[in-house]
A and B are shown apart, each in its own frame.
Chain A
Amino acid sequence: MNVNMTFLGQLVSFAILVWFTTKFIWPQLNHAIEERQKKVADGLAAAEKARAELKDADARAAVEIRQARQQAAEIIEKAQAQANQIVDKARTDALAEANRLKAAAAEEIASMQQKAREELRGWVGRLAVQGAAKIVQREIDVSAHKAMLDQLAAEM
């Protein structure tokens, strides 16, 4: 246990070691550790925030789902009402159309009846004239007796 020059050698070695650690080991490692600590702290804060936001979003989503459901129900109701309305209208329209067609057909029938009657009258007039001519054996002047013939036709 005698102290000798080794002492000085170890003193220098120790100085070098401490210098090296101070310069090249501690700053880098400490930097990494501190940065990671900050990252972890940030991450935890972010997670906390995200959790709060999620809770918020859940509540909002629930409200919106409820609203959407209500809206959907309203829309369905409205659609049904509209459909009923359309069916009703179609029925009314169809009825009106049918009535109209029926009326038109009746009118046509009436006008055709009238026409047939007119025609019949003309024929009757002419037949009467021909018959009368045969009876009197001479030509009757249609134009001279027109007024009388028309009156006859009208009386029929």
Chain B
Amino acid sequence: MASEPQGGLTGYITHHLTHHVLVLGDGGNPFMRINLDTLVVSFLLGALFCLWFWVKARRATSGVPSKGQAFVELIVEFVDTQVKDTFHGDRRTVTPLALSIFMWVAFMNAMDLLPLDAPGWTVKAAAGEEAAHHTFFRWVPTADLNTTLAIAVAVLLIVFGHAIKAKGAGGFGKELLTAPFHAHGVGAKIALAPANLLLNLIEYFSKPVSLSMRLFGNMYGGELVFMLIAGLFASWLSFVPGVVFNTAWAIFHILIILLQAFIFMMLTIVYIATAHEHH
């Protein structure tokens, strides 16, 4: 997907920000579309994570670990320590959840470090310039709101599950109406119930929004910066600065990749921990 002479940098960026879309039905409903690139890449990365950790977990010994096992255990223990510090309860489902989020998000974020034009070159080499011009492929799944929102909503559902399990359906419903403003007396309680419910709904709604938007924004922005830097490579004059900026941004991006994955994981743990707290 080399930059087109007539499109310039804007055309190049627009091209790179277009998904490989599979249209379901007649295409009239904008929801009935599938971003095939996001789905395939994220699925492959998830499978890679599963395969890697599964192989190590299957061969795991309590004796002297191999280097591979030690590395995997390092990650697992790192995640488990975070969970232990924040969440005081049965960790049998919480730690795997945190581990999945951390590894999957980190893997998907790391796709940002692969060359922007690699899919385009592959298509160009295989099918020619014309085919590449009409092929769209974005391979950073977390720069697609669908991915981040899906994980965030899943986290919210899990948080609901934890809240209901900890307090019972009745207790959870009651808390929606009676917290955070506490009142004494039936009349006052009824008067405060709408305000409490509204606040709680906003609070619960804001959780997936902030979770998904933070990750999406960081990765989308990071990708965009890579594209802008790639624009420098269009001229020999700006080639060397382009290389410098590209390297600098990539190194900085390593931090963002892991930091965003860590933040997503930590917030998930914090939400689950607060779901267990009684007001």
Contact = CB atoms under 8 A, between A and B. Distances in A.
Interface string A8-26: 1111011111101110111
A6 B151 contact: no
A25 B146 CA distance: 26
B96 A33 contact: no
B131 to A, nearest CB: 23
B96 A1 contact: no
Given A18-B100, A22-B93, A39 B42 contact: no
B119 interface: no
B24 A5 contact: yes
B247 to A, nearest CB: 28
Interface string A92-126: 00000000000000000000000000000000000
B80 interface: yes
B50 A31 contact: no
B151 A25 contact: no
Contacts of B149: 3, 7
B60 A28 contact: yes
B38 interface: yes
Contact residue range for chain B? 35 or more
Interface of A is mostly: helix
Contacts of A17: 46, 49-50, 100, 104
Contacts of B92: 22, 26-27
B166 interface: no
Nearest to A23: B96
Given A6-B33, A7-B153, A29-B53, 16 more contacts: A5-B24, A6-B150, A7-B149, A10-B42, A17-B100, A17-B104, A18-B97, A18-B100, A20-B100, A21-B96, A24-B57, A26-B57, A29-B57, A30-B76, A32-B69, A33-B77
24 contacts: A4-B30, A5-B24, A6-B38, A6-B146, A7-B149, A7-B153, A11-B153, A13-B39, A14-B154, A15-B154, A20-B100, A21-B53, A21-B97, A22-B92, A22-B93, A22-B97, A24-B54, A25-B57, A25-B99, A29-B73, A29-B76, A32-B57, A32-B65, A39-B62
